[in-house]
């Protein structure tokens, strides 16, 4: 197998949560371009149709499934639907997530719990459901954030806590499953990429953070998708339990 062939995903099946918008759409399209069929999960199932079209334009099969990752039964339903349609699950991209920016003295228990339930709990329930059916050589990629590694000037206790927790969850699942089940578990920590979440930021806030990016710009979705493909494919077959920051140097400033 050549080096470039190791990035191919022909014959494999990926599950992507949060696939109705933003980076989830780019991830699904990139996985399909590399050769994978893709099961798509999100609460906004009507918007999954557009993502499915991107997958199918790459010549791959797509399966949109209404999914609430905070509900373990819904996660199991997504995986069961993928198994029924495709017969296997090789890759999980735990991308579903929400963010808030609420001062710690004003954040309500419900606001805090809602972020933890989606960003951390949702990843755990999806990892459980997929690991039960995955074969050796499979890969789970959790989408964390640079805000799980550093701060960025906003009051984001719930979001930062959930993304930092994903780093620990990634390590622990890797040590449980890589040797015993042959399932690699890694995380990506994206910096600033254009998405629905960054679109909600005030322009002046983004201007204050850009000097911390050594690359001097926001990342392009293709740059993050390329890192995802490395971790999801045989190109990263000797990498597990790691969190890869794709941030233009943000976390070292």
Q: How many CB atoms lie within 10 A of CB 6?
A: 13
Out of 124, 159, 201, 205, which one is annotated catalytic? Answer: 159
Sole residue written with tokens 């590694």: 149
Identify the burial level of 104 via C-beta atoms within 10 angstroms of its C-beta, where 0-12 means exposed, 13-18 middle and 19 or more buried: exposed
Q: Over 30-45, what HEC string results?
A: HHHHCCCEEEEEECCH
Tokens representing residue 6 in the block: 């190791």
Q: Look up 159 and say whether it is catalytic.
A: yes
Residue 211 is classified by DSSP as G
Q: Residue 127: enclosing H or E segment and its boundaries?
A: helix 122-131
Tokens representing residue 109 in the block: 């228990």
Does residue 78 contact residue 49 with C-beta atoms inside 8 Å? Answer: no
Catalytic residue positions?
Answer: 159
């Amino acid at each position: 197998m050549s080096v470039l062939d190791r990035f191919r995903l022909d014959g494999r099946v990926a599950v992507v949560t949060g696939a109705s918008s933003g980076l989830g759409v780019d991830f699904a399209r990139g996985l399909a371009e590399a050769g994978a069929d893709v099961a798509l999960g999100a609460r906004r199932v009507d918007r999954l149709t557009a993502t499915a079209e991107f997958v199918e334009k790459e010549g791959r099969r797509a399966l949109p499934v209404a999914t609430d990752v905070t509900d373990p039964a819904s996660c199991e339903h997504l995986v069961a639907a993928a198994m029924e349609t495709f017969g296997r699950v090789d890759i999980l991209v735990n991308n579903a997530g929400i963010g808030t920016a609420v001062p710690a003295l004003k954040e309500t228990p419900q606001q805090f719990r809602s972020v933890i339930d989606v960003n951390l709990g949702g990843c755990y329930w999806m990892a459980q459901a997929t690991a039960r059916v995955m074969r050796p050589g499979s890969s789970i990629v959790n989408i964390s954030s640079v805000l799980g590694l550093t701060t960025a000037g906003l009051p984001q206790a719930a979001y930062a806590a959930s993304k930092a927790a994903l780093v620990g969850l990634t390590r622990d699942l890797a040590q449980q499953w890589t040797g015993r089940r042959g399932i690699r578990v890694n995380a990506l920590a994206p910096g600033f990429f254009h998405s629905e979440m960054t679109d909600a930021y005030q322009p002046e806030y983004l201007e204050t953070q850009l000097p911390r990016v050594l690359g001097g710009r926001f990342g392009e979705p293709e740059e993050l998708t390329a890192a995802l493909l490395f971790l999801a494919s045989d190109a990263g077959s000797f990498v597990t339990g790691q969190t890869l920051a794709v941030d233009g140097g943000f976390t070292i400033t």
